[in-house]
Amino acid sequence: MNGSNSGANSQLILALSKGRIFDDTLPLLEAAGITVKDNPETSRKLILATNDPNVRVIIVRATDVPTYVQYGAADFGVAGKDVLLEHGGEGLYQPIDLNIAACRMAVAVQAGFDYATAVRQGARLRVATKFVETAREHFAAKGVHVDLIKLYGSMELAPLVGLSDAIVDVVSTGNTLRANNLVEVEHIMEISSRLVVNQAALKLKRERLQPIIEAFERASKNQG
Ligand code: PRT
Ligand code: MG
């Protein structure tokens, strides 16, 4: 009735993306007594076994994590607030902020571009971003008129080749901006990654999920 991935005795599936989210989630899994047996950086497997035969990890693109969890193909997952805001969060229960993969969402322009004056004079700005929903809300709240240009990566290039006046992107060290002669002109919000749980799984598999959620919560608090 609910497909193969349901019922009290079935498997738990956790959706993660490779890289910083996978790396930062490993210690939380360890705190829950779960050890992942494959390394996604060296293995081509997309379904990874763990020491618990009832828990498997699937490796998907960061932006696809909420979709897998929303539809119940994964019971739970880890995704950045940036990704969750674009997705909208439908069908997802978000019990905890894991305080991992921290960064900030910011507006950046080429060094020398007078952003403040352009905004004050009411210029219509072209803004390139992967985060169109967040960008739309940010500029609407400020009453700034923008034309949003959707990109899927390397936003930093857009102002350098005249595609846009500004970008909205996530920044952590700021090294990529500096290396490309860009400067941050507005801070939009702090970003960290969240645990997301399929709403039906939370009810049907609560007994299995709850101890993992609690272990993640304890371990993420200790990370500071
Ligand atoms: O890489 P891919 O296109 O598959 O997807 P993704 O970039 O969304 O995934 P991933 O794994 O790179 O990021 C997953 C999550 O990590 C994001 O959704 C954010 O919540 C979070 N995060 C934390 C970051 C960064 N820090 C970060 N620095 N995501 C991306 N970056 C980018 C940044 O945009 C810049 O282009 O990394 C580049 C380097 O940043 P600096 O400032 O350290 O130079
Ligand atoms: Mg990336």
41-91 residue pLDDT tens: 999 999 999 999 999 999 999 999 999 999 999 999 999 999 999 999 999
Find the 19 Cα to ligand 2 centroid distance in Å: 8
Residue 29 has pLDDT above 90, yes or no: yes
Longest CA pairwise span in the chain (Å): 62
Write the secondary structure of the chain as one string of H (helix), E (strand) and C (coil): CCCCCCCCCCCEEEEECCCHHHHHHHHHHHHCCCCECCCCCCCCCCEEEECCCCEEEEECCHHHHHHHHHCCCCCEEEEEHHHHHHHCCCCEEEEEEEEEEEEEEEEEEECCCCHHHHHHCCCCEEEEECCHHHHHHHHHHHCCCEEEEECCCCHHHHHHHCCCCEEEEEECCCHHHHHCCEEEEEEEEEEEEEEEEEHHHHHHCHHHHHHHHHHHHHHHHHHC
Q: Is 61 in the pocket of ligand 1 (CB under 6 A)?
A: yes
Residue 4 has pLDDT above 50, yes or no: no
Q: Is 159 in the pocket of ligand 1 (CB under 6 A)?
A: no
102-160 residue pLDDT tens: 999 999 999 999 999 999 999 999 999 999 999 999 999 999 999 999 999 999 999 99
Residue 8 has pLDDT above 80, yes or no: no
What is the pLDDT averaged over residues 203-214? 96
Confidence class for position 95, pLDDT limits 50, 70, 90: confident
Closest atom of ligand 1 relative to the 20 alpha carbon: 11
Residue 9 has pLDDT above 80, yes or no: no
Closest atom of ligand 1 relative to the 80 alpha carbon: 20
Q: Which of 59, 61, 103, 107 to mutate to test the pocket of ligand 1 (most atoms within 8 A of CB)?
A: 103
Looking at residue 2, its pLDDT comes to 44
Task: Give the ipTM.
Answer: 0.96
61-75 residue pLDDT tens: 999 999 999 999 999
Find the 152 Cα to ligand 2 centroid distance in Å: 10
Ligand closest to Cα of 101 equals: 1
Residue 177 has pLDDT above 80, yes or no: yes
Whole-prediction pTM: 0.94
Q: Is 91 in the pocket of ligand 1 (CB under 6 A)?
A: no
Residue 193 has pLDDT above 60, yes or no: yes
What is the pLDDT averaged over residues 153-171? 98
